[in-house]
Structure 1
Amino acid sequence: MNERYRKGWAALTALAPEKAQAVLDSLADIAPDMGRFIVEFGYGDIFTRPGLDPASRQVATIAALTALGNAAPQLRFHIEAGLVAGLSPEAVVEVLFVATVFAGFPAGLNAITVAREAFAAKGVKVPPVKIDGREADDRRRRGIEALAVTSKNAGQKVLDSLADIAPDFDGFILDFSYGDVISRPILTPAHKEIAMIAAATARGTMEPQLRVHIKAARAVGLTREQIVEVIIQMAVYAGFPAALNALSATRAAWREMGE
């Protein structure tokens, strides 16, 4: 046990006291070094960095694994770890809603199934969240207001940007993405942007949208260091190319902001 391993093992067992050893045991017969990489790099080098608290790191990881759409066992592990880190079950479900905006309904539905299994295993019951005062005819207003929080005066730009090819689609962005989902009050604005940056990074094909949400993250109070930490963590879950591309988008966003 070197210092990286000791530090990583302490972080992993704190998040998953009942499953940490099982992760290593599952690899012992074929790739024991993979288990060492997970502990030393994933947790010893990355997770224990001081830039983000454990709950925020789990928001990022849950969003990324949902967006990837091909990592159900790992998603279940991190949903359970998210509960240990202090996320409420309702907050976990909200992260899945946000990731659905970026990854689509099949990915979101699969993630909901995984969450149901994780909650059942932990004996957690999640009553459906009812948010009062969300009349159907207020969707556009809510969407424009939610967008204005992070992207001042951008509502009309969204409406105008697709007028020449898909005039209804810009309305879907405002009414559904922002009015129905992003405006929901369960997650903090910072956690919403962390989830969106993580999902967009993990998908690997969303450089324009990533720039938008990097700017939005700054608008809701995330520091440059926190944004970079989210992206560094994505190297563990989405790979180094995805993280490198996201860092390039971050640099471009800051340049556009004059930072």
Structure 2
Amino acid sequence: MNSAPDTVTSDNRYERGLAVLRQVSGTDRPAVLESLVDIAPDLARYTVEFGYGDIYSRPGLTLRERQLANVAALAAIGHAAPQLRFHLAGALNVGCTRREIVETLIQVCVYAGFPAALNGLTAAREVFETRPAATEATPSRACVPGETTTDRYRRGLAALTEIDGHVGEQVIASLRDIAPDLGRYLLEFAFGDVYSRTGLDLRTRELVTVAMCTALGTVAPQLAVHIHGLLNVGGTEDEVVETITQMVGYAGFPAALNGITVARTVFAERAAAGSAG
């Protein structure tokens, strides 16, 4: 885990944060600073010092991963369109591809619904259209000719088992007595259709899902499942903590603190299981 040394001054934090903000914004004079100078200059300073100097500058995630996490979280919460557009552009500025961004926004539909994903894609289209020179195909996984619902179910079950293991299987089992069709849709659509798409690896899909579930703030059981999932597909405990910490700036301290509480429980469960094994 990382902690800031006591010798770091406000000037150090501001300069470090400004350097990162310039990378993300793609300009030497980020608009967020200009927009606050006449009404809340201290908030502009906090944004640079804390948001970018403290949080973004931590070594636990790459800038690409931080930007995809932000895009997922902002699209999921659905009430920060200007900031979503800023971070969509920022994702391109730090090397994310259009396809990775589109896949992240498709992932949103599983956790925040189709309206949130559709609104996110509308914002992405607006950002992409400002960069006509950066043409890049965003292909989707084509439907397989003759594919059946059974095929999708089997593919989804295989993906669920790889990502969430017994924790995911428990979720499906818990629905059998009350809503078995919901469990089937979860396998066929969420895992058979969405998670099985190309364009993002499973680790990145789980990382952005942890970000979404943290930012939403109302889905602690699902956050626990996907923390397990991120760890199952190659993520580390430090990366879980970094992803949740990143959400402080976009969903607030309560959401991040609640997310860390869930993570603590998951880590303890896995440690206990490892000791027992």
TM-score clears 0.5:
yes
Corresponding residue of 2:67: 58
> Out of 129, 148, 151, which is 2:139 matched to?
129
The offset of 1:133, in angstroms, is 6.6
Distance 1:198 1:131 in 2: 24
CA contact (8 A) 1:140 1:174 kept: yes
Aligned to 2:206: 193
Match of 2:47 among 38, 54, 66: 38
Structure number with higher relative contact order (C-alpha < 8 Å, ≥ 6 residues apart): 1
Aligned-residue offset at 1:130: 3.6
Which range is displaced more, 13-22 or 70-79?
13-22
Aligned to 2:56: 47
Q: 170-179 vs 124-133, which deviates more?
A: 124-133
Residue number in structure 1 paired with 2:93: 84
Larger radius of gyration: 2
Indicate how the Cα distance of structure 1 residues 38 and 178 shifts in structure 2: closer, same or farther if over 3 A, else same: same
Structure 1 Cα separation of the partners of residues 256 and 160 of structure 2: 26
Query: Residue deviations 1:144-166, cap 9 Å, x none?
Result: 11111112355653432112221
TM superposition shift of 1:240: 0.2
Task: Classify 1:128/1:12 alpha carbon distance in 2 versus 1 (closer, same or farther; 3 Å).
Answer: closer
Distance 1:17 1:133, change over 3 A: closer
1:157 to 170, 184, 197: 170
Is residue 102–residue 138 contact of structure 2 (8 Å, CA) maintained in 1? no
| One-letter amino acid of the counterpart of residue 54, structure 2 | D
Q: Over aligned residue pairs, what C-alpha RMSD do you find?
A: 1.7
| CA distance in structure 2 between the partners assigned to 1:125 and 1:14 by the alignment | 21
Q: In the alignment, which residue of structure 1 is the partner of 2:265?
A: 252
Deviates most, 129-138 or 183-192: 129-138
State whether residues 147 and 154 of structure 1, in contact with CA within 8 Å, keep that contact through their aligned partners in structure 2. Answer: no
Question: For structure 2, which runs of at least 5 residues remain unmatched after alignment?
Answer: 1-9, 273-277
Q: By how many angstroms is 1:16 displaced?
A: 1.1
Contact 1:47 1:233 in 2 (8 A): yes
Work out the CA distance in 1 between the residues paired with 2:28 and 2:215.
Answer: 25
**2:203 and 2:235 in contact (8 A); partners too:** yes
Cα deviation code 1:90-109 (max 9, x no counterpart)? 00000001122111111111
Larger mean CA deviation between 65-74 and 162-171 belongs to 162-171
* Inter-partner Cα distance in structure 2 for 1:150 and 1:170: 16
Structure 1 62/19 Cα, relative in aligned 2: closer, same or farther at 3 Å?
Answer: farther
Amino acid at match of 2:117: G
Equivalent-residue separation in structure 1 for 2:111 and 2:28 (angstroms): 30
Counterpart-to-counterpart distance in 2, 1:67 and 1:80 = 17
Secondary structure at 1:152 match in 2 = helix
Matched residue SS, 2:30? helix
Residue correspondences, number? 259
Moved over 6 A (4+): none
Percent pairwise identity: 45
C-alpha spacing 1:33/1:154, structure 2 compared with 1 (3 Å): closer
- Look up the equivalent residue of 2:264 and give its one-letter code: R
Deviates more, 1:150-159 or 1:72-81: 150-159
Query: Matched residues in 2 for 1:19 and 1:146: separation?
Result: 43
CA distance in 2, matches of 1:20, 1:71: 22
Moved more, 9-18 or 199-208: 9-18
Aligned to 2:250: 237
Task: Tell me the equivalent position of 2:275.
Answer: none
Q: How does 1:213-232 map to 2 (within 5 A)?
A: 213-232=226-245
Supply the distance in 2 between the matched residues of 1:19 and 1:141 (Cα, whole angstroms).
Answer: 51
Task: Give the alignment of 1:103-118 within 5 angstroms.
Answer: 103-118=112-127
Displacement of 1:199 in angstroms is 0.3
**Which of residues 87, 91, 107 in structure 2 aligns to 1:98?**
107
